[in-house]
Every structure is written in C-alpha cells, then in structure tokens.
Structure 1
Amino acid sequence: MKKSKIYGIVTCIIILFIAVVFGFSKMKDANSSKASNKTIRVLTYANWNPFEYLKNGKLVGFDVDLIKELSKEAGYKYTIKNASWESMFTQLQQGKADVGISGITITSDRGKTFDFSDPYFVSRQSIVVPQNSTVKSASDLKNSKIAVQTGSTGQEAAKKLFGKDNSKILATQSGVTFQMVMHGQADAAIGDNTNNEKFIENNKGNKLKIVKDDKAFSPEYFGLMFPKGTSYKKSYDKALKKLIADGTYQKIYKKWFGVTPNTKELSKFK
C-alpha cells in the first residue's frame, strides 16, 4: 500500500475521531444547558418562623434560603409558592408541583406516597404549657387536653403517647395551638421544638414555657418531599452534600438559628 493512501486513511480516522468527540461535547453541553433551564416548582407552608414565613409579603426563612442554594447547586431555576399544609401534600401527589419544603418530617408512612431527600435538619417535639404549670414530662399530660397541628408529627406523637382515638387530643391549624393554651382551651400543646422556642421568644408576654422530654420524643429528620418516583431526588441529595461540604449549609443555619449545626447528626438517620 502506498504511503499516501496510508496517510489518507489515518487522516480520515483522526478527523472522524475529532468529529465524534466534538459532537459528544456539544451534546453534553446541550444537556447541561437543558438541565439548567429546567424550572422546579416548589411549594411551602409559610406559617412557621424561622423555617418559612411571610415578611412584608415576601417568603423568607431557613427553608427558603436553603432551597434557593440547593436549586442553584443542582443546576435548576425554581419558583416557590405558598400553600396550605394539606394542599402542599395534595398538589405534590397530583404532580402539580415538584418539591415541598416546610420542615416536613421524614416518616415511613409518608414514604409510601412520597419520595424524600436525605435529611437536612434534625428536630424533636416539645411541650408548651403555661408558666405556672406543674407539668415536667409527657407522662404528666395523661388525661389533659392537648393541642396539636392537624397532620403534624406532633399529632402523631400525641396519639402514640395517649391513644389514637383520644378525644382530648385537639387537632387544629398551625399557630392556633399556642392560642388554645393561652386561652385555657388546652392544657398543653405538642409541636416542633424549634417552632415552640421561636414563638415564645417572640411572645414573651404570653406567659408560656417549654417542657422537653427526650425520652418521650425521638429525633425527627426533615427532608425535601417529592412526588413518588421523582427524578430530582438524586440531584438535590448531591447538592445538599456539596453545601454541607463547602460550609454554605452551615452559614444558612447560623443565620436563622444563631448557632453552628452539628452536621454529623444528619448521618444518624436510618
């Protein structure tokens, strides 16, 4: 075979190789661009300071800042809308939204209907009672009227402790539980400790106090909630790991809670 013909074949192979590599690169860039142009529909229930609440008509809070950075890291644009607690679950189940973030506890029961991200926050339930109350633990609430938020893990905890069909467990809207205790309609309220502490801090004249009982209330882990079978869980889990590794998560946490989080607690989730 002549050298010129060999050179010609080699040249064709090189050109073909460059074309394939270039084409693959362009395809990868296109896919990347497509992902970054995807807009994720986020829902929250803005009635839970400091996680999410309305300030001058604008959604603010820990969860709001976190979903912003997570979406940015995952390569997505996003919209975030306020919804009622029940509507948030319904819209996600119907595929009308892509993700919910609102201090949602990861539970096995919810896991039957929704997919959850890796946990991003650890919390516990606690008890709110009048300052002159003699309650020292959850066991002291036997036969008491207990206010809980409808559909919350506080309601689940109360039912577990005092009976599923206990008529003295009074389910109501978020925030109303504290009002019921202040007005004597309930002897105590059970809810997330972070929320309880924030309410008492901002309403010191209401003469309420918190009773903690770590034996009665196990740690709870909050996660992003997705429709079942979502394709977004993987990218948001990866983004969360990155934000924890580079310290962005810790900065957001300290901004809203005033302390640096123990991120090792997140890995204890089972």
Structure 2
Amino acid sequence: MTSLTTRRFLQTAGLLIAGLVLSACGKQEPPATTAAAPEASAPAAAPAPARTYVVGTDAAYAPFESENETGTIVGFDIDVVKAAADKAGIEVKFVNTPWEGIFNTLQQGDRDFLVSAITITEERKQSMDFTDPYFDARQLIAVKQNSKVAKFDDLKKLKVGVQTGTTGDEVVSKLQGKNSTNIKRFESTPLALKELEAGGVDAVVADNGVISNYVANNPGAKFKSVTDEAFQPEQYGLAVKKGNTELLNTLNKALAEIKADGTYDRIYTQYFGAPPAKPAAAEAPASAASK
C-alpha cells in the first residue's frame, strides 16, 4: 500500500511540474491597450472686432445732421460717414456734441473725428486736419416773402440772425461790425430761423443747404431765399486730430470709393433732389469761421 501510494504521488507530482513548466514557456499575449483619442484641435481664434470710432456732430443742422422723433441722429452727413465706414471696414458711433465745444472734444481725444457741415478753412487747418472735401456750399439769406432784401448789402442796417461761430456770423460781422447790436447770435440756425418767423430779426444768413431745407419744409413760415455772388464758395470736410495720418488716409480712401461707385450721388440726390453739380475750377478757400 505504502509503496504504491508513494509511486502514484510521485507520478502525479511530476505531471503537475511538467505542466507548470510548459505553461511558463508558452507565448504570452501583451496586455490590451486602449487607443489614444486624437487631440481635439484648438478652436480658431475669433477675428478681432472692428474698432468703433466716436464721431462728434452737432445734431441741430438739418438736413446735414439732426435728431429724429426717436432721438436717432440722421442726415446727409451721417449717411455719408456710414457709407464711408462700410467701405473702410470700421464701426462708427455718433455723439451729439454742441457746436461751441465740438473742436475741443477732438483736441482732447473725446472724439476720433467730426462731421458737422464743417467748412475747411486755413485757420482751422492750423489746429486740425481735414479730409478731401465732400460737399460744396455757399451762404444764403433767408427772409420773409414780402421782404425787399435782394442782395447781401441790403442787410447792412437790418437785424440779422446767425448761428454763433459760423461763416454766417463771420460775414455779417464784417458787413455790420463785430459788435453791432443788430446781429443776433443763436446756438443753432433753426433757432435763428424761428426768430425770423416770429419777427425778431429781418433776415438769417447761413449755409445754403440748411436754408433751402428749412424753406422747403416749413411753407407756413412764408420764407424765401436770396443768394449773392459776393458769398465765397465753401467746402465741407471731416475733421480729424492734427497728425492722425492713418485715420485721415482711411477716410479719404473710403470717401473716394463711395464717390466712384455712385453711393455718394445716391445719398446726395436723396437729400437735395438731384445729384451734385460737376466740380468747378478750384477757388480761393474760405477763411471765415464756419459751421
């Protein structure tokens, strides 16, 4: 019994050892690995937002700039600048700015540029830069329909309303004397025209676009306009801070583009009933202060 059992034990043990050796020598599969997920691509950088330029304008000078019934600033100047801004790929924000301090806001950097029926003059060019002209203007006289005024000299002894600091103010001051008590100065041309309607002045002198617009849109006032060849032609420009060549070039390029593609003519016709006349030969620049 003992001998047989021992022999079977040894046989069984040998088989077990052989099995373990064969198992150890067999090919082992490498552990399964999980494929790495592809790295997520970085999102494309968003384009930088267009810079918004703050534009100062005295919104009391229809049809060039005024506020509508909702308080939005509208007008010929506004549409011209918007069209130019679209061409230049820039954003603009219009801020109503009183005429008396409008140039200071440019000098102080509170406004990036100005559009406000501003006449280009040699005096102003000393302290600010102007774009190429975008509008030709002249002074015009508004009087009541029964007035006998036929020329500028007829105003010499009459009460005349003007907007402070404008070309109208300057030319009437030269005619009557700067300190003449017959010159009535107002914060805006519409206020001067209201005074004419009320009989407080005999005439108003201001830019032709403003006078013509008021006469056409206020038939109840019973005004007429009188022109005089003695008035020097004027040109409006956008005003930028002295030395801001980059912005000046951007605006000039955009203005040229809207004139070339017909956009300017469409805006002009919308406000003045017909496209602008062909430019005449260059004349001496206005030297007076102007709106």
TM-score range, shorter chain: 0.7 to 0.9
* CA RMSD, 1 decimal: 2.0
Equivalence for 1:92:
106
SS of residue matched to 1:264:
coil
Say if 1:70 and 1:236, in contact at 8 Å, map to a contact too.
yes
Instruction: Answer yes or no: is 1:63 the counterpart of 2:77.
Output: yes
**Aligned equivalents of 2:121 and 2:114: distance in 1?**
15
Letter in 2 for 1:230: N
Deviation at 1:67, TM superposition (A): 0.6
Instruction: Answer yes or no: is 1:262 the counterpart of 2:247.
Output: no
Higher helix share: 1
**Aligned equivalents of 1:207 and 1:126: distance in 2?**
16
Say if 1:119 and 1:269, in contact at 8 Å, map to a contact too.
no
Deviation at 1:149, TM superposition (A): 0.1
Structure 1 runs not aligned, ≥5 long: 1-32
**Aligned equivalents of 2:271 and 2:282: distance in 1?**
22
Deviation at 1:134, TM superposition (A): 0.6
Deviation at 1:150, TM superposition (A): 0.7
- CA shift digits 1:107-163 (9 cap, x unpaired): 111112211111000011111111111110011111111110011111112123332
**Aligned equivalents of 1:262 and 1:243: distance in 2?**
16
Say if 2:138 and 2:207, in contact at 8 Å, map to a contact too.
yes
Letter in 2 for 1:42: V
**Aligned equivalents of 1:234 and 1:268: distance in 2?**
24
Percent of pairs with identical residues: 40
Equivalence for 2:130:
116
State how many pairs are aligned.
Answer: 237
Letter in 1 for 2:133: P
Bigger Rg, which one: 2
Deviation at 1:184, TM superposition (A): 2.1
Equivalence for 1:190:
205
Equivalence for 1:44:
57
Letter in 2 for 1:47: A
Which of 129, 132, 135 lines up with 2:149 in the alignment?
Answer: 135
Change in 2 beyond 3 A, CA 1:171/1:177: same
Which of 203, 226, 239 lines up with 1:211 in the alignment?
Answer: 226
Instruction: Answer yes or no: is 1:149 the counterpart of 2:149.
Output: no
Instruction: Answer yes or no: is 1:176 the counterpart of 2:197.
Output: no
**Aligned equivalents of 2:262 and 2:185: distance in 1?**
39
Equivalence for 2:115:
101
Equivalence for 1:28:
none
Deviation at 1:100, TM superposition (A): 0.7
* Correspondence 1:223-234 to 2 at 5 A: 223-231=237-245, 232-234=247-249
Letter in 2 for 1:49: A
- CA shift digits 1:8-30 (9 cap, x unpaired): xxxxxxxxxxxxxxxxxxxxxxx
**Aligned equivalents of 1:254 and 1:185: distance in 2?**
34
Task: Give the alignment's TM-score, normalised by structure 2.
Answer: 0.76
Equivalence for 2:263:
248
**Aligned equivalents of 2:110 and 2:213: distance in 1?**
32
Say if 2:140 and 2:227, in contact at 8 Å, map to a contact too.
yes
Equivalence for 1:53:
66
**Aligned equivalents of 1:249 and 1:243: distance in 2?**
5
Greater mean deviation of Cα atoms: 178-187 or 126-135: 178-187
SS of residue matched to 2:53:
strand
- CA shift digits 1:68-98 (9 cap, x unpaired): 1111222322211111112322211211111
Change in 2 beyond 3 A, CA 1:191/1:221: same
Say if 1:121 and 1:266, in contact at 8 Å, map to a contact too.
no
Equivalence for 1:220:
234
Change in 2 beyond 3 A, CA 1:265/1:58: farther
- CA shift digits 1:38-71 (9 cap, x unpaired): 2211111111221111112211111111111111
**Aligned equivalents of 1:209 and 1:162: distance in 2?**
22
Letter in 2 for 1:185: G
